[in-house]
Amino acid sequence: MSIQNRNKINLLFRDWPPGTVCTTSWLNDRGYSNQLLNRYKKSGWLESVGTGAWIRSGDQVNYEGAVYALQKQLGLSVHSGGKSALAYLGKSHYLELAPTNIILFGYEKETLPSWCKTYDWKVRLDYHQSTFLPPLSGLTEITVNSFSIHISSAARAMLECLYLASTAHELVECYEIMESMNSLRPALVNELLKECQSVKVKRLFLYMAAKAGHQWFEYLDIKDIDLGHGKRSLVKNGAYIPKYLITVPKEFEGNGSPAL
């Protein structure tokens, strides 16, 4: 390898955080041609993780390193959400200690590159494209080793959990999560609820927050939140909650007598 190429790889590694993926398009934009990248591969500097993506040779890269590339290099809103985000935020005492399934959310038409879907990250990526929330609202930044990525804040993650919930068991689990949400910021919650496009999610969130008795609930401007019209039956043979026009699992309301 020439001195010039060796200097270029040194410059590249200076700006490339260990533990992350680097995309071919990002490298091409910075003067690293495909031919040069293949030379680096033959010289043992780089390894391919699929078409269009690279890692440093011998580097241990987890899925967070892939999310780094999706966010920082490809400009996607793809992020850890739902229970996966809550685990990062320290609200995982009842969740898996070593999760094998990672929940990712992205906006409509944001598809995962093939290298991201096919590489073995040692976990399963459960990816959801949705428009029920704006792509960048309610995200927070976390540091993973030598780099940072955005994940859902606790408030957004709670909404994402409700969005995915489709069974009585999952709704009960969502309420258990809500019970731990005692420090949400009312201003952020209010903003997210106003932006949320899912009537089901908004009604469930408000019902569960009120039932949990959180102090921050009293500071929400519920009158400014569009809760839609008509009843929503979320489970069969459940308890009907007139205030929010929803039918929830009977476990929430004892013998089915609404408490709200």
Rounded Cα distance between 110 and 98, Å, is: 28
If you write DSSP's letter for every residue of 167-187 in order, what string do you get? SHHHHHHHHHHHHT-TT--HH
From residue 23, how far is each of 28, 120, 140, 155, 201 by CA, in Å? 9, 17, 24, 31, 36
Q: Are 189 and 242 in contact (CB under 8 A)?
A: no
What residues pair up with 47 in beta bridges, in sequence order? 55
Q: How far apart are CA 111 and CA 70, in angstroms?
A: 10
Element (H, E) at 10: helix 3-15
pLDDT at residue number 100: 84
Q: Mapping DSSP to helix (H, G, I), strand (E, B) and coil, where does residue 141 land? A: strand
What are the C-alpha distances in Å from 175 to residues 30, 142, 155, 206?
A: 48, 25, 13, 11
pTM: 0.92
- Residue 199 near residue 110, CB atoms below 8 Å: no
Q: Specify whether the CB–CB gap between 136 and 163 falls below 8 A.
A: no
Rounded CA gap, 28 and 103, in Å? Answer: 30
Tokens of 21: 């993926």
Quote the pLDDT of residue 2. Answer: 58
Write a three-state SS string for 43-99.
CCCEEEEECCEEEECCCCCCHHHHHHHHHHCCCCCCEECHHHHHHHCCCCCCCCCCC
Tens of pLDDT along 148-198? 999 999 999 999 999 999 999 999 999 999 999 999 999 999 999 999 999
Distance of CA 10 to the CA centre of its chain: 33
Q: Nearest CA to 114 among 47, 46, 201, 24?
A: 24
Side chain identity at 35, as an amino acid letter? Q
The pLDDT of residue 260: 46
Quote the CA–CA distance of 177 and 162 in Å, as a whole number.
Answer: 10
Distance, CA of 209 to CA of 203 (rounded, Å) = 10
Look at residue 7 in the predicted model and tell me its pLDDT.
78
**8-state DSSP, 225:** S
pLDDT mean for each 10 residues of the chain (260 residues): 69 93 97 94 96 96 98 98 92 61 96 97 97 97 95 98 95 93 96 97 97 96 93 89 93 57
C-alpha dist (Å) from residue 113 to 17, 79, 203:
20, 14, 35
DSSP state of 203: H
